[in-house]
Chains A and B, each alone.
Chain A
Amino acid sequence: MNIRGLGAALAVTACLLTACSSGGDGGDATSSKATEYTIWDPYPQFDDSSDWVKLLTKCGTDAGVTVKRTGYDTTDLTNKALLAAQQGNSPDVLIVDNPVVSTLAEAGVLTTTEDMKIDTTAVSPNLLAAGQQGGKTYGIPIGANTLALYYNKKVLDAAKVDPATIKDWASLTAALTKVKAAGKKGITFSAIGTEEGSFQFLPWFWGSGANLTQLDSAQGVAALTLWTDWLKNGYAPNSVLNNTQTTSWQEFAAGDFAFSENGTWQLANAKKTGFEYGIIPIPSQAGGTAPAPTGGEFVTAPVQSDTGKYPTTQKIVSCLTSADNALTTDTTLSYVAATDAVQQKQVAATPELKVWVEAVKAAKGRTSDDLGTKYPKISQPMWGAFQAALSGSKNPQQAMTDAQAAAGK
Chain B
Amino acid sequence: MTKPLKTTIGVILTAIMLFPVYWMVNVSFTKDTDMRADPPHLFPFNGTLEGYRAVLDQQLPYLGTSLLIGAGTVVLTLLLSAPAGFALAKLRPRGTGALNFVLLIAQMIPGIIMAMGFYAIYLRAGVLNTVPGLILADSTIAVPFGVLIFTAFMSGIPDELINAASIDGASKFRTFRSVILPVSRNAIVTVSLFAFLWAWSDFVFATTLDGGGDYQPITLGIYHYIGNNNQQWNAIMATAVIASIPATLLLIVAQRYVAAGVTAGAVKD
- Is there any pair of Cβ atoms, one from A and one from B, under 8 angstroms apart in the complex? yes
B37 at the interface (CB under 8 A from A): yes
A26 and B223 contacting across the interface, CB-CB below 8 Å: no
**Which of A16-24, A158-166, A400-408 faces chain B?**
A16-24
Contact of B33 among A97, A274, A295 (CB under 8 A): A274
Given A44-B223, A45-B226, do A87 and B125 touch, yes or no (CB 8 Å)? Answer: no
**A37 CB-CB contact with B under 8 Å:** no
Q: Is B34 among interface residues, defined by CB-CB distance under 8 A? A: yes
CA distance A269 to B32 in the complex (A): 9
Contact (Cβ within 8 A) B224 A44: yes
| Chain B residues in 8 Å Cβ range of A167 | none
Chain A contact residue count (CB 8 A cutoff) = 56
Q: Which residues of B contact A21 (CB under 8 A)?
A: 126-127, 130, 132
User: B35 — which chain A residues lie within 8 A by C-beta?
Assistant: 250, 253-254
B128 touching A42, Cβ below 8 Å: no
Q: Which A181-211 residues sit within 8 Å CB-CB of chain B?
A: none
Residue in A7, A14, A21, A27 whose Cβ sees the most chain B Cβ within 10 Å = A14
Does B8 interact with chain A (Cβ within 8 Å)?
Answer: no
- Among A1-23, those with CB < 8 Å from B are 6-7, 10-11, 14-15, 17-18, 20-23
Residues in B whose Cβ lies below 8 Å from that of A23: 126-130, 213-214
CA distance A7 to B120 in the complex (A): 9
Q: How far is the CA of A255 from the CA of B133 in the complex (A)?
A: 48
Residues of B within 8 A of A247 (CB): 36
A68 cross-chain contacts in B, Cβ below 8 A = 212
Mostly, the A contact residues are mixed
Q: How far, in whole Å, are A76 and B232 apart by their CA atoms in the complex?
A: 18
* A72, B130: Cβ atoms closer than 8 Å: no
Q: Are A45 and B224 closer than 8 Å at their CB atoms?
A: yes
Interface contact A255-B229, CB-CB below 8 Å: no
A25 interfacial contact with B, CB 8 Å:
yes
Which residues in A have their C-beta under 8 angstroms from that of B36?
247, 250-251, 253-254
Provide the residues of chain A in CB contact with B214, threshold 8 Å: 23
Alpha-carbon distance between A246 and B229 when the two chains are bound, in angstroms: 8
Q: Is B94 an interface residue (CB 8 A)?
A: no
Query: Is the CB of A114 closer than 8 A to any CB of chain B?
Result: no
- Determine whether the beta carbon of B224 is less than 8 Å from that of A24: no
Minimum CB–CB distance from B32 to chain A (whole Å) comes to: 5
Which residues of A lie under 8 Å from residue B122 when comparing CB positions?
A: 14, 24
Given contact pairs A10-B121, A11-B124, A24-B126, A254 touches B33 in the complex (Cβ within 8 A): yes
B227 touches A253 (CB 8 A): no
Judged by a CB distance under 8 angstroms, whether B58 is at the interface is yes
Indicate if A339 sits at the interface (CB-CB under 8 A).
no
Q: Which residues of A contact B125 (CB under 8 A)?
A: 7, 10-11, 14-15, 24
Determine the chain B residues whose CB is within 8 A of the CB of A253 once the complex forms: 32-33, 35-36
Cβ contacts under 8 Å, A73 to chain B: 207, 223, 226
The verdict on B160 contacting chain A, using a C-beta distance below 8 Å, is no
The answer on a CB contact under 8 Å between B132 and A18 is: yes
- Given A72-B207, A250-B36; A44-B127 close (CB under 8 Å): no
Minimum CB distance partner of B222 in chain A: A44
Q: How far is the CA of A43 from the CA of B123 in the complex (A)?
A: 24
B124 to A246, Cβ gap below 8 A?
Answer: no
Task: Produce 1/0 per residue, A155-184, CB < 8 A to B.
Answer: 000000000000000000000000000000
Interface residue? B116 (CB, 8 A)? yes
Contact partners of A244 in chain B: CB under 8 A: 231
B120 touches A254 (CB 8 A): no
Q: Can you name 13 extra interface pairs (CB under 8 A) apart from A11-B124, A45-B230?
A: A10-B121, A11-B125, A23-B129, A43-B227, A80-B207, A80-B208, A87-B119, A246-B231, A250-B36, A251-B36, A253-B32, A253-B35, A274-B33
Instruction: List the 6 closest pairs (A to B, CB-CB), nearest first.
Output: A45-B227, A14-B125, A24-B126, A11-B125, A44-B223, A26-B123
Q: What are 21 of the A-B contact pairs (CB < 8 Å)?
A: A7-B120, A7-B121, A14-B122, A17-B127, A21-B130, A21-B132, A24-B123, A24-B128, A25-B128, A27-B123, A44-B223, A44-B227, A73-B226, A74-B228, A245-B229, A245-B230, A247-B36, A251-B36, A254-B36, A273-B33, A295-B229
